[in-house]
Amino acid sequence: MDFTFSADEEAYRQELRRFATKVLAPHYQSDDKAAKLRPELVADLAAMGLTGLRIPERHGGQEASAVIAGMAAEEVARGDFNASYLIIVSALVSDILTRNATEEQQAAWLPPIASGEVVPAFCITEPGHGTDAAKLEMKAEPDGDGWRLTGEKTSITLGASADVALVLARTGGPGARGVSAFWVDLDDRYTSRAPFDDLGSRAIGRASLHFDGLPVPREALVGGEGQGFVSVMQGFDYSRAIIGLACLGAAQVSLDEALQWSRDREAFGAPIGRFQGVAFPLAEHATYLRGARHVCYEALWRKDNGLEHSTEAAMAKFWAPKLAAETIHQCLLTFGHLGYSSESPVGQRLRDVIGLEIGDGTAQVSKLVIARNLLGRAYAP
């Protein structure tokens, strides 16, 4: 059993950390205040190959392992948590297209994602259907040799700025087997966007998208008709572990800062780290972070080795965002009144990671997956 990164992986991790610290971190708070995606951010990530991590080399990507994608999200999130969304969404969408799209479709759609020419989104959630996504109502109505999409998608990450999207819509009867997946250009003649005013992660532009008869040709169908839901949902397992690592990256950098503050800050004639009330909570959270990180990387390692990983991914998804919020909160308290100031990035990290306690699967759904895998479906909720 080997818990270390290889020499090449460790060198890459250090390169990512330098990039996140020097290039991304200086814009983290200002991008939040601007509440919009900076085009330079996409270009910077693309120049590092981070928008094409899971894309095959023949289509301009890095063809990186799931473990490397998780490492990238973790290190980028240390400098700019919201920049990690571009890695998460690009990796999820690219993985789905690589597994389900034809070679011709991949050759047309994947290179622009890898180069940063286009920003992708993933459209599944609807106003009345989030967790129960198999009951989605958006219609794909036949139109000549294609379809027209009509309906609303909501809570779409990067929805305010995305150029293209993988959209699930109903082409058949009720249930998952009536859902198909389409790759579409978000043409403003047939779509309108309503950005949200969120508590955190404002730079990523979460939004609702309204589709008013958007035409899609037959060649935009991903996989077979009626196969969209099943093929798409398979991609969520490993992406949830990447989400976990992004949250842990934000928590770890906050912990590192709090530890240094505990060395530097003095009270009653000694560094505050000398007091158990300060040191012990930080020690506890360092322990929890290490455990959660191992769960996330195990899920990604299992993915890379063709092993079942839904249980580990669900564990990562419910535990890591929750733990990250708790850890960052404790770090904020360690800083005292300085941590509560908007000049400190700690408060923004707290606001930002809370969003992923909700997005891409709630803790309750993750625990349901775990329980069913542990007990067997007949003996679980």
Q: φ, ψ for residue 40 (rounded to 5)? A: -65, -30
- Of 118, 150, 169, the position where a domain reaches its end is 118
Amino acid 224: pLDDT: 87
- Of 118, 142, 159, the position where a domain reaches its end is 118
3-state SS class at 270: strand
Chain centroid to CA 381: how far?
Answer: 27
Amino acid 214: pLDDT: 95
- Of 198, 226, 254, the position where a domain reaches its end is 226
Statement to judge: residues 328 and 239 lie in one domain:
yes
What's the number of domains the chain is made of?
A: 3
Amino acid 361: pLDDT: 85
On whether residue 114 sits in a domain, the answer given is yes
Amino acid 131: pLDDT: 74
Amino acid 228: pLDDT: 82
| The token pair that represents 206 in the structure block | 């979460």
Amino acid 291: pLDDT: 98
How far apart, in whole angstroms, are the C-alpha atoms of residue 314 and residue 186? 31
Statement to judge: residues 160 and 243 lie in one domain:
no
CA angle 104, 105, 108 (to 5 degrees): 90
Residue spans of the chain under pLDDT 70 = none
Statement to judge: residues 210 and 255 lie in one domain:
no
Statement to judge: residues 11 and 69 lie in one domain:
yes
Amino acid 233: pLDDT: 78
Amino acid 134: pLDDT: 79
